Amino acid sequence: MRFNDFKVQLVIIAAAICATLFVQDVYILHLMILCMIYGAVASNWNIVVGYTGVFHLAQVPFFVLGGYTSAILTVKLGFSPWLGLLAAGAAVLIFSLAIGLVALRVKGVYLLFLTLAIQFIMLSLVLYFTEWTNGDIGLLVPPLAIYGLKINQFNIVPAYFFALALMISSLVLVKKITDSNLGLALVSLRDSEVCAMSRGVSPYRTKLAAFVLSSWLTGICGAFYAHYLGTVGPWDLGWGLVITFLASMVIGGLGTLYGPVLGSFVLVFLNEYFRVAQLYRPTIYGVLMIVTLIFLPKGFISIVTRVRGAIASRAIG
């Protein structure tokens, strides 16, 4: 078996995840679903932050916009949730294009500020247009359904596979981008924008492409999340999700393929296992992030990679 082959790796991961189905514990399966969704979103975010080196805070607005789009279409306009999912992806795609066209013209902290502003503005809009969003109460969202079979917590196996599909899609998306010319361009921009420009890479267009590509799947994840949990609300636009996604990326490994997914699993299960440390959760996340940034810049996934590499080289020589 060639473990370096991406398809083989995907199969192994999918198999490992499916193995947890044997646990038959709804709670564990529910946590796994959350891990997979969060991991998918963190992976998407990683395309721009980790691979291109452009730090922005628009990912949660993408996620939540996807959720609200589908929710409003299903609840207020009576559309089918499946259409809602597609619409969510489209809406976020257009939104990210619009934002990207304007925001990516600036760099560094200024980009950060602009995307931070988007989060606040979206929150204000959600709270203001109460006829559409129910304001601070949030919307109760019906679940996705196939021939009457609801896809939510009470019928958790279909939801599980759906989430798995979203996560695998994210990984495939990241891999395809990194393997392509666009991927080379992204990494070259991160390493040295000047060098990249001298080789004919257009920073603005490349960043825009990465930005938009990393958004649509996040929108669909956001819509699925809303239908799975049965609700969407302004609390999603707070710092909670931002910290979760950010910590997953950072602790798992910025600019690595499996890092954000690993980070997501580690954090969700850490959170649940150490119930006694609940109160200290932000502190633990914070310390882990700082430690990872300083000592393990490539994240915890690098431990796995190094050990694998060491074993492989030992096998050879």
Partner 1 sequence: MLNKKGINYIYVAMLIVIVVVAALGGYYYYTTTLPAEKHKIKLGAPLGFTGHYASVAEDSRDAINLAVEEINYAGGILGHEVEVYFDDTENLEAGKLSSVYTKLITRDKVDFLLTHFGSPACAEYDLVEEYGIPYISGGFIQTAESLIGADPSKYPHVFLALPSYLLYQTEFPAFVQKLIDDGKWEPINNKFCVIKRQNDYSLYIADGQKQNFLEMGWELTFEELFPEAIVEDWSSVLAKIRSDPPAIIIDTMWTTSTDALFLEQFLADPTPSLIYMQASPTYPDFQELAGSNADGVLHVYGIKKVSSTDPYIIKFKETFGRSPSPYGIVCYDQVYVMKQAMERAGDPFDYDAVAEALMETDYLGVLGRYVRDTSNHLVKGGGGNIPFPTFQMWDTENYMLYPPEIAEREFELPPWFP
Partner 2 sequence: MIDPNLVTPAIITGLALGSMYALAALGLTLQWGVLKVLNFSHGAFITCGGYIAWLVLGASGGNYLAALPAAMIIPFFMGFVLYRIVILPLQGKKESETNIFIATLATGLILENLIIIFIGGRYKGLPTIVPGFTNILGTIINNQHILLMFLGPLCLGILMFFLVKTRSGMAVRAVAQDNVGAAIVGIESKKVYAYTVAIGSALAGFAGVLLGAYYFLSPTMGGAPLVTALFVMVLGGMGSIKGTIYGAYIIGLVDAFARFFVGAFWAEPILFVIFILVILFRPQGLYGVK
27-51 b/e with 16+ CB inside 10 Å = b? eebbbbbbbbbbbbbbbbbbbbbbb
Query: Quick one: 111 or 261, whose CB is closer to partner 2?
Result: 111
Long-range contacts of 93-97 (CB under 8 A, 24+ apart): 93/212, 93/215, 93/216, 93/219, 95/62, 95/65, 95/215, 96/58, 96/62, 96/211, 96/212, 96/214, 96/215, 96/216, 97/208, 97/212
Is residue 128 within the footprint of partner 1 (CB under 8 A)?
A: yes
Spatial distance between the Cα atoms of 124 and 272, rounded to a whole number of angstroms: 32
Phi-psi region of 201 (alpha: psi -120 to 50; beta: other; left: phi over 0): beta
108 sits near partner 2 (criterion: CB under 8 A):
yes
Which of residues 26 and 195 has its CB atom nearest to partner 1 in the complex? 26
Binders of partner 2 in range 179-198 (CB under 8 A): 190
Question: Please, what is the Cα angle at 40 between 138 and 116, to 5 degrees?
Answer: 55
Q: Name the token pair of 305.
A: 């990679």
Which range touches partner 2 (CB under 8 A), out of 15-23, 138-146, 218-226, 243-251? 243-251
Binds partner 2 by CB under 8 A, chosen from 16, 194, 294, 316: 294
49 binds, among partner 1, partner 2, none (CB under 5 to 8 A by kind): partner 2
Residues that bind partner 1 (CB under 8 A): 25-27, 30-31, 34, 124, 127-128, 134-140, 153-154, 225, 229-233, 235-236, 238, 240-241, 269-270, 272-275, 278-279, 281-282, 300, 302-304, 306-307, 310, 313-314, 317
Residues that bind partner 2 (CB under 8 A): 49, 53, 55, 102, 105-106, 108-110, 112-114, 116-117, 120-121, 124, 190, 243, 246, 250, 254, 279-283, 285-287, 289-290, 293-294, 297
